[in-house]
Amino acid sequence: MTFCDKIWARTATLLQAIHDHPFNAALGDGTLDRERFAFYLVQDGRYLVAYAKVLATASARATAPADAAFFAQSAHTALVVERALHTGYLEEFGLTAGETAAVATSPTCLAYSSYLQATALAAPLPVLAAAVLPCFWVYQDVGAALLERTAGAADHPYRTWIATYSDPAFAASVEQARAITDRLAETADPETRRAMDEAFCRATEYEWMFWDSAWRLESWPTGQWLRPELTRTTR
């Protein structure tokens, strides 16, 4: 069995929990309130900038030119998504650049971003490949399920967002990310293989936490004493 087949089976219950999370349930049936979605978009913008740098580091560290090209291309895509979709959506939500800037990066967003950045700089390349994979794969899985559930809805408020992650070009990039990770796993020693398992699981846990933090409009419990000027929510 390949690394990907094995780890997908190991994370099946957590993946189901991601599909069933109230944020994704509400996103799918169009009842998700704008405040939670706007919170998610602001945090995701921060995440995407960090994630792009992580992919750029993976590109710099890759040995095979084809892998370097894939990571660099994906870093670019992440930044294009951040620029186009987020800017467009946030404007549509009536959030000015100033209001967006005033939202504190959430503890979960910072933890996930920091974890990936640390992995990019300090872990073996196969472990880095495993750590960035859930971002691709979990989103494709969730995107496909959401598209299926919303296909019949004539006027879905989050259609553009859902379409991004159910695009065929995106599916091809997930396939490539999986193939690279499987190939790196084949020649990895047992200790590195174990670290790859842990990295994939940890990043998938952070994916669940990212949606959950948006659902809870997560804030810093200590913010009241240090940053009273930063709004707790995006309102």
Ligand X SMILES: Cc1ncc(C[n+]2csc(CCO)c2C)c(N)n1
Q: Which residues lie near ligand X (CB under 6 A)?
A: 44, 47-48, 51, 74, 77-78, 135-136, 139, 207, 210
Query: Under a CB-based contact definition with an 8 Å cutoff, are residues 44 and 23 in contact?
Result: no
Quick one: 135 or 196, whose CB is closer to ligand X? Answer: 135
Smallest distance from ligand X to CB 135, Å: 4
Shortest Cβ 109–ligand X spacing (Å): 8
* Contacts of range 162-169, beta carbons closer than 8 Å, 24 or more positions apart: 162/27, 164/81, 164/85, 165/139, 165/140, 166/140
Strand partners, 231: 103
Number of other CB atoms surrounding residue 148 within 10 Å: 11
Distance of closest approach, residue 226 Cβ to ligand X, in angstroms? 25
Nearer to ligand X, 3 or 40 (CB): 40
Residue with tokens 């467009």: 88
Rank residues 78 and 195 by Cβ distance to ligand X and give the closer one.
78
CB of 14 to ligand X, least distance (A): 14
User: Cβ contacts of residue 140 below 8 Å, gap of 6+?
Assistant: 165, 166, 170, 171, 174
How far apart CA 72 and CA 66 sit, in angstroms, is 10
Angle between helices 125-150 and 107-122 (to 10 degrees): 140
Residue 232 to residue 228: CA distance in whole angstroms = 9
- Give the nearer residue to ligand X in terms of CB position, either 106 or 192: 106
Spatial contact of 197 and 10, defined as CB atoms under 8 Å apart = yes
Least separation in angstroms between CB 187 and ligand X: 25
Side chain identity, residue 100:
T
- CB closer to ligand X out of 47 and 215: 47
Q: How far is the CB of 47 from ligand X (least distance, A)?
A: 5
Shorter beta-carbon distance to ligand X: residue 74 or 234: 74
